[in-house]
Copies of this chain bind each other. A is one copy, B any other.
């Protein structure tokens, strides 16, 4: 068996998320269909570094799969792309060791969230959250500091009483250029909705609806007081997945 690692970029606009769902159009479903055209006698299941939700984009998402088929590693890129729809594109392909796993070998992940303070644009609506008002960038940058380091993010992710909600956030940078705000988050892992809740909370600070202390109170309550603000999926990008 050969283990193939692929780096994939996708526009999440027209997908019901990454993970296969019966009859719905998903990124995983489309990729598996494409691979099936190449490996017709195998039932291939791909394993991604993690799921992304409906409308969330992938820039350098990673997945792997096992196949009996022998091919030069770079030819997988070309072959799979040939069968993919135009909103998914394999950027690179590698033959990797059997002990590589897209999800378990990942050490860090980087997410970006894009928000526009400018007037509504019909071209950006699926790609940048059309907030349309000014935000206090300085206040958001100051409040962002509370998330850095190891924390129990229970107040900032989907409710799951059994999950481990402790994660380490290494970076949370906020960059504004021409009215577009980019939130860049790097951490050892992210729970479902975690980026959207953190960004949602920061937007509330930027709009002067809550202050840094209130945000910190939510974080320190470790799930007792939930962050009720969740930024829209359209502005979210799984930017990159890092391995040793």
Contacts and interface: CB of A to CB of B under 8 A. Distances in A.
Interface of A: 9-11, 57, 81, 86-89, 91, 119-123, 125, 127
A88 B11 contact: no
Contacts of A57: 123
Copies of this chain assembled into the complex = 2
9 contacts: A9-B121, A11-B123, A57-B123, A86-B125, A87-B125, A88-B122, A89-B121, A91-B119, A123-B127
Given A11-B123, A88-B122, A89-B122, 16 more contacts: A9-B121, A9-B122, A9-B123, A10-B122, A11-B122, A11-B125, A57-B123, A81-B120, A86-B122, A86-B125, A87-B122, A87-B125, A89-B120, A89-B121, A91-B119, A123-B127
User: 8 tightest A-B contacts by CB?
Assistant: A89-B122, A11-B122, A87-B122, A86-B125, A11-B123, A89-B120, A9-B122, A10-B122
